[in-house]
Amino acid sequence: MGRYDLALIGFGGVNRALAELISQSGERLAKELGFALRVVAITDLRAGSLVDTDGIDLAPLLAAEPGELSFEALAGGSADPRNEWVVREVPADIIVEATFTNPTDGEPALSHVRWALESGKQVCTTNKGPVALAGRALKQLAAEHGVSFEFEGSVLSGTPILRTAQRMFGGLEITGVQGIMNGTSNYILGRLEEGIELSAAIAEAQELGYAEADPTADIEGHDVQLKVMILANEVLGADLRREDVFCEGISAITPQEVQDAASKGLRWKLVGSATRHEDGSVDARVAPLALPAQHPLAGISGPVNAVAFHTDLLGVSDTVVPQSIELGTDTTPVHNPYTGEVIASVPTVDAGAVGSILQQARCGRRTAAALSRAARAAVLERAARLIERRAESFAQLIVSEAGKTITQARKEVGRAVNTLSLSAAEARRNAGEVIPFDSHEGSEKRQGWFTREPLGIIAAITPFNDPLNLVALLATRSGQSPPSQGLPLPRERDKFQAGTETN
């Protein structure tokens, strides 16, 4: 099995998360990917730099609080980040650049990327600055040195929005892109609609981890401006500079304006857009807009991103990207309704988390179109393994919530695992729109289906039959009011057909 050695430039949220994955799930990832990953260097503005060509022990670094981490006293460590020396001289195969984004000139990330490419090293970055401001030149430099310059995460983090447009819309002409590309500003606008003042909404977003200590890039639209530039240049073939993209943020919008618009059926959103005209020119802008209810972006609430592509044949195709939900470690007991015995527990969630889960459920059918065939199959296979490993817990919950016998409940869980496994097998063989199949459990005939967007299967066979029922259970168990009864359960024709993944 091969191995790639990584140098992590910046050790904030993104690269710490990558290091955690490698440390905790390295063996599993190696089996799935066919190669191993090893970190041989880390640099950080505050912590300094650390180099070990035999591989860095990541566990003790991850155990330290980010603000307290220092490499100076460690073997191979220094208080100086030594970014250029690490990038150019340390024998790493891939430079993972994840320092802060500078919307003005892209530095220091732009230099980090350039040094790596000039040194013949592959580059992977989530940094918007270098891609938006010098993407064409950097791609040319990579080609000259025979290496890759990868930046999928620069627009919507873990969601492959660029690959979706470039690889999955074959035969279509993309004429425009429009979206909510900053979950922080979208969350804040939602709070303004509820009457909260801007300063209080920003503070709340910072406390929840949505906004940075300096929220200027989110509030004034600079973050979206760079993302629009990347989409316009990569998807529409433009060559836009920052001054070509008009940018207005949300700092001048008042709660009264947002509430007045809501009373008229309009929703304020910070929208980034780019349009290609018949002569090949591209216009791009970032501005707050009061959208009518029927607009595909109007219903996107909370710290959520959504992008709609305009195409010649399919019209508008959208991808919605919910923020991940942290349920925490607190649990609430689930009681057998007949005996009162505690037979299981569920995560305790607050009202905000319930609302975010509901948003994910509502937009679920649109979020997995970006998955490749192999990724769709992997999602289904992992779901099958997860349910199978916790089969007894699922069965006990069915007993307590549906009043079924334990034998019936275990059969239902078994059918769920079987359905998911069959769906995964079909996904690997076929990428067709709809693939029916039959399976048998004793004398029962079980029908199922697989579509391009596999979470429809998962939603259909969960023990609660519909994810909104599960949300209602979580809300009730945690002392919150159940979700609004006005939320319709999905009908057969619009069951969740989509699958998965904030700004």
Write out the catalytic residue numbers. 227
Q: Which is nearest to 142 in space by CA: 132, 155, 151, 154?
A: 151
Q: What is the strand order of the sheet 77-78 is part of?
A: 77-78, 48-51, 35-44, 2-9, 94-97, 122-125, 149-150
CA distance 247 to 393: 51
Q: Is omega for the bond preceding 108 within 30 degrees of 0, making it cis?
A: yes
Question: What does each C-alpha distance from 451 to 129, 372, 377, 457 come to in angstroms?
Answer: 37, 12, 11, 9
Collect contacts of 251-259 with beta carbons under 8 A, ≥24 apart. 251/198, 251/219, 251/220, 253/189, 253/192, 253/198, 253/288, 254/192, 254/198, 255/192, 255/193, 255/195, 255/196, 255/197, 255/198, 258/189, 258/192, 258/193, 259/192, 259/193, 259/195
| H/E run at residue 81 | none
DSSP letter at 112 equals H
CA distance 410 to 501: 30
Going by their DSSP bridges, the two strands 48-51 and 35-44 should be labelled as antiparallel
Question: What does each C-alpha distance from 439 to 327, 420, 422 come to in angstroms?
Answer: 35, 11, 8
* 89: amino acid identity, one letter: E
CA distance 28 to 22: 9
Structural contact between residues 286 and 269, judged by C-beta atoms closer than 8 angstroms: no
Length of the chain: 503
CA distance 443 to 420: 20
